[in-house]
Amino acid sequence: MPFTNTEAAEFWSAMAPTWVSMDQRLDEVAGPPGLLAMDRLDVRPGHRVVDLGCGTGATTVELARRAAPGGDVLGVDIAEGMLTRSRQRAAQAGVENVAFEHADVQVHAFGERRFDRAYSRFGVMFFNDLVAAFANVRRALREGSRLSFVSWQGIFANEWMLIPGVAATTALGVTPAPPGPDDPGPFRLSDPERVGAVLDAAGFRDVDVLPHNDSFSADASRIPELAATSSRIGMVGELLRERDEDARRLVEAAIEDAFRARVEAGNLQVARGVLLVTAQA
């Protein structure tokens, strides 16, 4: 099975146990914008759909429900550990019109004109070669079919990531180098103009990029739980990867304090900003 995104495969394989253990909490943040992107996909009964970077399968199961009866969904992810949870989730939900495959979207042989729809919830920013990956997806779509995905806006539009990051770097006394514009990561498709250029180069047309901004809200009593989650993912998770438990406790306490400063009427309120992207094959 060919893989070109070897760094991404290694990273997400290592992250899979953590991601699986926290998937319900992560779905709270990613789920609402993911559903907005799914609504824009316009899945109908009988459609064949591919879910790119399906993670632990919540999106694949929902797509399968929308494609029934008569349709089916293929969930693809670069980390086999994610797919184990995906298969469990589908079985528990009693959803049978799904399949899951361990594959690298950039080079996987999907077959030409196989799908009516392609979808991704925050899974397309990590391709090694964006144009090559989207071109491969384009080949797998029938003429006139649709792609829809959601990606993050920049860090300053996403306080749920920014606040833990600032708290962690301040507590540890470090200044990590910012990622380059071509480095795979959560903000790689945060620029609408770049999104349009990539999809145009990959052979898509009628690209529509819609910024959407709202907030993530949670009861203040959950702040310790949310701080613990924030310390295990993204930039903060990377900062703590090689550090001891004392460092983790220090960072979690700093994140808790920063979150408490954002409590209004008993609720934590932090900004969330995404791009909702559609294009035609």
Looking at every residue in the chain, the average pLDDT score rounds to: 93
CATH of domain 6-154+180-215+273-280: 3.40.50.150
Question: What pLDDT score does 4 carry?
Answer: 66
Q: Answer yes or no: is pLDDT of 38 > 60.
A: yes
Among 19-33, 122-136, 257-271, the least confident range: 19-33
Q: What is the rounded average pLDDT of the residues 170-190? A: 84
List, for residues 7-17, the tens digit of each pLDDT value. Answer: 777 777 777 78
List, for residues 192-227, the tens digit of each pLDDT value. Answer: 999 999 999 999 999 999 999 999 999 999 999 999
Ordered by start, the domain boundaries in the chain are: 6-154+180-215+273-280
Question: What pLDDT score does 10 carry?
Answer: 77
Selection from 40, 269, 275, 270 nearest residue 153 by Cα: 275
List, for residues 223-273, the tens digit of each pLDDT value. Answer: 999 999 999 988 899 899 889 999 999 999 999 999 999 999 999 999 999
Q: What is the rounded average pLDDT of the residues 101-109? A: 93
List, for residues 140-166, the tens digit of each pLDDT value. Answer: 999 999 999 999 999 999 999 999 999
Question: What pLDDT score does 2 carry?
Answer: 64
Question: What pLDDT score does 145 carry?
Answer: 96
Q: Answer yes or no: is pLDDT of 180 > 80.
A: no
